[in-house]
Structure 1
Amino acid sequence: MSEETKKLSEKEKMLRGLAYFPSDKALQHDRANAKRICHQFNMHDIDDRKGSRKLIKSLFGQTLGAWIEPTFYCDYGYNIRTGKNFYANHGVVILDAAPVTFGDDVMLAPGVLISTATHPLNPEQRKKGLETANPITVGDNVWIGMGAKILDGVTIGNNAVIAAGAVVNKDVPAYALVAGIPAMVKKLIAMD
């Protein structure tokens, strides 16, 4: 570890994609704050859409227009950025230790899990409690099907479709339909 890295806070390490300790007090505080806002959102009056949007706006790093159905959970919130017309159905979880960026017109079906976090393969490093996180980017006009899981470091191209139950551990090209565990390209989507 370099001298410069040693001087960084655990949050700075996390945001730079370096190994960090999620047990750090500042990160615990940030996660607790996100959980409080998620709880408020999940319990909020469903007829008060304006109030719900205000809670999401206070949580996310950026949103140009998002509607999320309760229940919703995330780790930090400030690493989530949505484009215009973002929609997430019930039971979506976004573990955003690294940036999660959604383009315009993205739809998430119920039960989607998106996780930027990963743990070392080395058991000694894992026992120390270290974690790393890699950004996830979702392009414009993407539909992610029910129960799909998007893993750390993945980029999903514009106009792609992720089938229900897919586990995406590799980049997805634009206009591709992917399905399976692990997800594989099943076909390219034709534009009529």
Structure 2
Amino acid sequence: MATEKEKMLAGELYLPSDPELRALSDQAHRRCQEYNQCPALDYEKKAALLKALIPRQGKSLYIEGPFFCDYGINIVIGDNVFFNFNCTILDTMLVTIGDHCMFGPAVQIYTPLHPMKAAERNSGREYAQPVVIGNNVWVGGNATILPGVHIGDNCVIGAGSVVTRSIPANSFAAGNPARVIKVIDQ
């Protein structure tokens, strides 16, 4: 029989209140709190704290605090990635971010979903879908990326956008819901 963590990572309904998941989440929340309270100029300590929180990261990851995530262990980040202030990644499922990506302030990346039927939703169970963000992506401030979205390489997501569907490579997308406004000629 699958554990709640295994169900979560498989995209099946799971109980987030499961003791194993609560312990992992509590650990990540403590690490976020410690990271967010670390002095801004203590780069070595901040890098070590970030490595403990998000162990699967490339070179030159920089996140301005405050930063929040559910687990950290379900986030994979490439090289040369920057997050501005007040970003959140709800990583109940895998969140993959490519190389050379930039995120404006207050960007939100969500993987969890709740059932549409009230009885299922009231059970406390949820499920998740992964998010994939390609290389060379710039996400403007206060944008929200919803579960199951894939953003292709070289995209720009306009500030304040709500990305509900996948965006093809080399696109500028904006709005609520976000739609492709134009192709970016590379």
TM range, normalised to the smaller chain? over 0.9
Secondary structure of 1:87's counterpart equals: strand
Q: Deviations over 1:82-111 (max 9, x none)?
A: 100010000000000000000000100000
- Is 1:127 matched up with 2:122? yes
Give the match for residue 94 of structure 2: 99
Paired AA for residue 121 in structure 2: R
Q: Which runs of 5 or more structure 2 residues have no equivalent in the other structure?
A: none
- Is 1:179 matched up with 2:174? yes
Give the match for residue 18 of structure 1: 12
State the Cα distance separating 1:61 from its structure 2 match: 3.9
Secondary structure of 2:148's counterpart equals: coil
Q: Give yes or no for contact 1:61–1:79 (8 Å, CA) kept in 2.
A: no
- Is 1:72 matched up with 2:72? no
Give the match for residue 4 of structure 1: none
Give the match for residue 77 of structure 2: 82
Give the match for residue 139 of structure 1: 134
State the Cα distance separating 1:45 from its structure 2 match: 1.4
Q: Indicate which of 149, 152, 159 corresponds to 2:154.
A: 159
Give the match for residue 111 of structure 2: 116
Q: Indicate which of 55, 62, 65 corresponds to 2:49.
A: 55
Q: Which runs of 5 or more structure 1 residues have no equivalent in the other structure?
A: 1-6
Q: Deviations over 1:116-166 (max 9, x none)?
A: 000000100000011001100000000000000000000000000000000
- Mapped partners of 1:168, 1:182: distance in 2: 6
Q: Give yes or no for contact 1:136–1:152 (8 Å, CA) kept in 2.
A: yes
Q: Give yes or no for contact 1:148–1:165 (8 Å, CA) kept in 2.
A: yes
Secondary structure of 2:26's counterpart equals: helix
Paired AA for residue 34 in structure 1: A
Paired AA for residue 29 in structure 2: K
- Mapped partners of 2:39, 2:130: distance in 1: 33
Q: Indicate which of 28, 40, 44 corresponds to 2:22.
A: 28
- Mapped partners of 1:108, 1:53: distance in 2: 18
- Mapped partners of 1:170, 1:180: distance in 2: 12
Secondary structure of 1:57's counterpart equals: helix
- Mapped partners of 1:173, 1:139: distance in 2: 10
When the two chains are superposed, the root-mean-square deviation of aligned CA atoms in Å is 0.7
Q: Give yes or no for contact 1:34–1:59 (8 Å, CA) kept in 2.
A: yes
% identical aligned pairs: 43
Q: How many residues align?
A: 185
